């Protein structure tokens, strides 16, 4: 099976249209007007998707689908928001959020919203797509995404959503997910739609979209995704060596998102760190960002006793950002057989979305969509977290993909 940018654009457009249908259904049912904030096509591992669910404390409704395409859709809510939305649909449900009344209301909400989401895909394919009875799911520490998706296939949805690539462990297999973040007009609603199609279904949609001349085997994308994971691991190891503090890679993923949606991937919370430009194959921009408390922690670890010298602390952050970037990108150059040069780090101190906005503006001169690389490194005791955002140039990233294609090796 081959994927190309045109297919990814089709996926993004269909997912966005379906999410708008879901938002309209939500408004009709509950009176909460909402809009689709971000739509992205995400290549990640099952464990990364699970991590996202647990970190955000999401409760969810799962619905299988089969027919023209097979797979599973997930409507996930922040727990507090789920209570208020269900109470608008079923008055009194908020008095006991764990009651059958509340969970039944959430399942009904999911059934109608996800039904509208799937209808757009059926129209595009010109085929019937049936959906299953909704299931309420809380993904706690004792349950994995694989448990939910791979149950037994009895609900009519094929469990084969893995695209392969990476390690053989089930939680490290790659999946192609379509994620939509929706917001209410007055405040962030904190709810998300995930669509996890089977491998065969991805192939059907690609065939309907029409393979472009630059289409590449899907294994190329999973290989690149694995390369990102390995780069994150090296950056984590380098960060540990510099600071003496043990770190782990929490998440590492590759997303395809409309260029104007990139800043929305970051919060409006304060961040300190560095921005660098990298040139070669591929080229682009990278931001290494810490929250203020994390920035203080890493600066203290690198240069103890420099509390009274802001210039030295700034220099420490720049040096850390430089080393982390090198660790993250060096593996890319080795794997691709290219040279990637890195500019001197520019110190930044602003809200996250404002930091990446100038980078996006520059890329938007030549492209409408962006491949966003998002990795997070953290210490087990939460002493600090480090977020890595890379934005490669689309054309040059395609050249990198071509180098990774099986026939090129």
Q: What is the pLDDT of residues 212-254, one digit of tens each?
A: 556 677 777 778 888 888 899 999 999 999 888 899 887 778 8
Asked if 73 contacts 118 with a C-beta cutoff of 8 angstroms, the reply is: yes
Respond yes or no on whether the N-terminal peptide bond of residue 282 is cis (omega within 30° of 0). Answer: yes
Place of tokens 């799962």: 62
Burial of 210 per CB tally in 10 Å (0-12, 13-18, 19+):
exposed
Give the CATH number of domain 2-209. 3.40.1550.10
DSSP string, 281-296: SS-EEEEEEE-HHHHH
Looking at residue 155, its pLDDT comes to: 46
- The per-residue pLDDT for 89 is 82
CA distance 323 to 328: 9
Q: Give the whole-angstrom CA distance, residue 365 versus residue 161.
A: 36
What token pair was written down for 39?
């739509």
Q: How far apart are CA 41 and CA 123, in angstroms?
A: 20
Specify the pLDDT at position 284: 95
Residue 165: the pLDDT is 45
Token code pair at residue 291 = 């929250």
Q: Is pLDDT larger for residue 149 or for residue 274?
A: 274
How many other C-beta atoms lie within 10 A of the C-beta of residue 341?
11
Q: What is the pLDDT of residue 166?
A: 42
Tell me the HSE value of 73 on the side-chain side, using a 13 A CA sphere. Answer: 30
Burial of 326 (0-12, 13-18, 19+ CB in 10 A): middle
Query: pLDDT tens digit string along 128-144?
Result: 999 999 988 775 555 55
Phi, psi of 68, rounded to the nearest 5 degrees: -60, -40
Residues of the chain within CATH 3.40.1550.10 domain(s) are 2-209, 216-408
pLDDT band at 323 (very low <50, low <70, confident <90, very high): very high
Average pLDDT over residues 57-67: 86
Could you report the per-residue pLDDT of 87-105, keeping only the tens digit for each?
A: 888 888 778 877 888 888 8
Q: What is the pLDDT of residue 170?
A: 47
Mean pLDDT of 61-74: 89
Contact (CB, 8 A) for 206 and 197: no
Provide the residue count of the chain.
409
The reply to whether CATH 3.40.1550.10 applies to domain 216-408 is yes
**Nearest alpha-carbon partner for 194 in 177, 182, 210, 207:** 177
């Amino acid at each position: 099976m081959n994927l190309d940018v045109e297919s990814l654009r089709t996926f993004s457009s269909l997912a966005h249209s379906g999410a708008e249908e879901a938002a309209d259904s939500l408004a009709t049912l509950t009176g909460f007007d909402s809009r689709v904030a971000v739509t992205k096509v995400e290549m990640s591992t099952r464990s990364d998707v699970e991590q996202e669910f647990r970190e955000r404390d999401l409760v969810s409704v799962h619905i299988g689908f089969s027919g023209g395409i097979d797979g599973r859709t997930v409507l996930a809510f922040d727990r507090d928001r789920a209570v208020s939305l269900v109470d608008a649909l079923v008055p009194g449900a908020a008095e006991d959020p764990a009651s059958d009344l509340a969970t039944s209301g959430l399942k009904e909400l999911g059934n109608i919203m996800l039904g509208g989401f799937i209808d757009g895909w059926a129209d595009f394919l010109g085929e019937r797509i049936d959906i299953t009875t909704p299931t309420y799911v809380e993904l706690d520490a004792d349950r994995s995404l694989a448990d939910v998706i791979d149950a037994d296939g009895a609900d009519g949805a094929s469990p084969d959503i893995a695209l392969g690539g990476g390690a053989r462990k089930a939680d490290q297999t790659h999946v192609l997910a379509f994620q939509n973040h929706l917001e209410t007009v007055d405040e962030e609603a904190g709810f998300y739609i995930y669509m996890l199609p089977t491998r065969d279904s991805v192939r059907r949609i690609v065939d309907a979209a029409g393979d472009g001349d630059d289409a590449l085997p899907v294994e190329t994308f999973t290989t690149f995704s694995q390369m990102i994971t390995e780069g994150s691991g090296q950056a984590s190891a380098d960060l540990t060596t510099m600071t003496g503090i043990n770190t782990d890679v929490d998440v590492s993923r590759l997303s395809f998102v409309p260029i104007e949606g990139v800043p929305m991937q970051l919060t409006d919370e304060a961040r300190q760190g560095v921005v660098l430009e990298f040139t070669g194959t591929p080229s682009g921009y990278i931001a290494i960002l810490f929250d203020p408390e994390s920035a203080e922690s890493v600066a203290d670890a690198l240069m103890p006793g420099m509390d009274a010298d802001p210039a030295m602390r700034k220099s420490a952050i720049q040096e850390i950002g430089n080393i982390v970037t090198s660790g993250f990108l060096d593996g890319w150059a080795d794997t691709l057989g290219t040279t990637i040069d890195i500019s001197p780090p520019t110190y930044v101190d602003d809200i996250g979305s404002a930091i990446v906005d100038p980078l996006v503006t520059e890329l938007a001169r030549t492209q409408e969509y962006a491949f966003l690389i998002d990795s997070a490194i953290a210490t087990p005791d939460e002493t600090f977290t480090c977020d890595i955002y890379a934005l490669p140039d689309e054309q040059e990233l395609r050249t990198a993909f071509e180098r990774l294609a099986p026939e090129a090796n």
